[in-house]
């Protein structure tokens, strides 16, 4: 039996109060929250923060949220998160008012590695989003836009669950949409769209970045390996502590178990061993 890893010392991060600038409903069951948190401007796409929402039993544990946008233009230094109401914690968060505050820790984890992203204009960056997995990919699209051609592939079960199409288009990404019921874009899975797109490309100049359900990430990883395209995936696992102590977010990799919160949440797709 493979042994679970012992925890490692987490990277330095900040625990501070952030002022809520707005908290608006953007679709049925989905909200976007903006925070005045200048120290978070150092965050990278793919990293996350741990948010304390309340003090009662149902909201006691901090919740992890990836950075939807990282805005540092002139005097503006703020961050946004995009979240879905799925339980008591996010339900309570959706009721938070502007000018209130949240106790947050971050930035945490390892984000997407764009340090080696090709800067030639013929370079292609393919972002694959499934459902609420679209949330952290907008910040990534904004970072990659000056580094080559960006495609944003958005998949969801139905039209009302398609998010951020405008945001991707605003940063210059060519945006493709699929829905399982055919109510918007092409009918089918977003991985079908990825497969078709890859068939038209020079894989040596294409890099894939993905976030979404595990089944989608597994198929994206398979396609990237088959086509020979580098691929980074952002894993979504339950994180209780966010700093690698509780060992609740372990995933199996070629090097043994790793913690999504500390070693990830972004991994090279070829590194993960899928069940």
Using one digit for the tens of pLDDT, what is the confidence trace for 48-93?
A: 999 999 887 777 788 999 999 999 877 778 999 999 999 999 999 9
Domain that holds residue 61: 14-108
Dist. CA 231–CA 24, nearest whole Å: 33
Q: Count CB atoms within 10 A of the CB of residue 109.
A: 29
Do residue 76 and residue 155 come from a single domain?
no
Pair (23, 77) in one structural domain: yes
pLDDT score for 23: 97
Sequence-distant (≥ 6) Cβ neighbours of residue 16 within 8 angstroms: 37, 39, 103, 104
Cα dist from 224 to 126, 183, 191, 214, whole Å: 11, 28, 11, 15
How far is the C-alpha of 152 from the C-alpha of 150, rounded, in Å? 7
Last residue of a domain, one of 60, 75, 108: 108
Residues 42 and 131 in one domain: no
Q: In terms of domains, do 157 and 261 share one?
A: yes
Q: What is the pLDDT of residue 121?
A: 56
Question: Which phi and psi angles does 26 have, rounded to 5°?
Answer: -110, -15
Q: How far is CA 236 from CA 46, 72, 135, 146, 239, in A?
A: 11, 26, 12, 27, 9
Specify whether 193 is located in the same domain as 257. Answer: yes
Residues 150 and 259 in one domain: yes
Residue 118 lies in a domain: no
Q: How far apart are CA 187 and CA 66, in angstroms?
A: 28
Residue 226 falls inside a structural domain: yes
Q: Quick check: 37 pLDDT over 80?
A: yes
Residue with tokens 């069951």: 29
Give the residue from 56, 75, 108 where a domain finishes: 108
pTM of the model: 0.91
**What is the pLDDT at residue 73?**
75
DSSP state of 274: P
Within a domain: 1: no
């Amino acid at each position: 039996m493979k042994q679970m890893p012992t925890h490692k010392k987490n990277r330095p991060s900040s625990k501070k109060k952030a002022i809520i600038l707005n908290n608006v409903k953007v679709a049925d069951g989905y909200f976007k929250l903006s925070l005045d948190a200048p120290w978070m401007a150092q965050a990278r796409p793919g990293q996350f923060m741990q948010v304390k929402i309340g003090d009662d039993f149902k909201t006691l544990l901090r919740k992890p949220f990836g950075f939807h946008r990282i805005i540092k233009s002139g005097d503006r230094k703020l961050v946004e998160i995009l979240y879905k109401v799925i339980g008591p914690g996010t339900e309570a968060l959706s009721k938070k008012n502007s000018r209130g505050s949240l106790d947050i820790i971050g930035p945490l984890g390892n984000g997407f590695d764009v340090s080696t992203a090709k800067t030639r204009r013929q370079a292609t960056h393919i972002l694959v989003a499934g459902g609420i997995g679209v949330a952290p990919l907008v910040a990534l699209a904004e970072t990659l836009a000056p580094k080559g051609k960006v495609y944003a592939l958005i998949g969801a079960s139905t039209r009302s669950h398609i998010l951020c199409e405008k945001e991707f288009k605003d940063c210059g990404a060519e945006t493709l949409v699929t829905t399982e019921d055919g109510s918007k874009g092409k009918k089918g899975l977003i991985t079908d769209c990825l497969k078709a797109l890859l068939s038209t490309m020079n894989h040596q100049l294409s890099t894939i970045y993905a976030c979404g359900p595990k089944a989608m990430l597994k198929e994206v990883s398979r396609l990237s390996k088959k086509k020979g395209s580098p691929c980074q995936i952002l894993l979504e696992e339950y994180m209780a502590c966010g700093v690698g102590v509780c060992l609740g977010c372990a995933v199996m990799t070629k090097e043994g178990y790793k913690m999504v919160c500390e070693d990830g949440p972004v991994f090279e797709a070829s590194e993960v061993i899928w069940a």
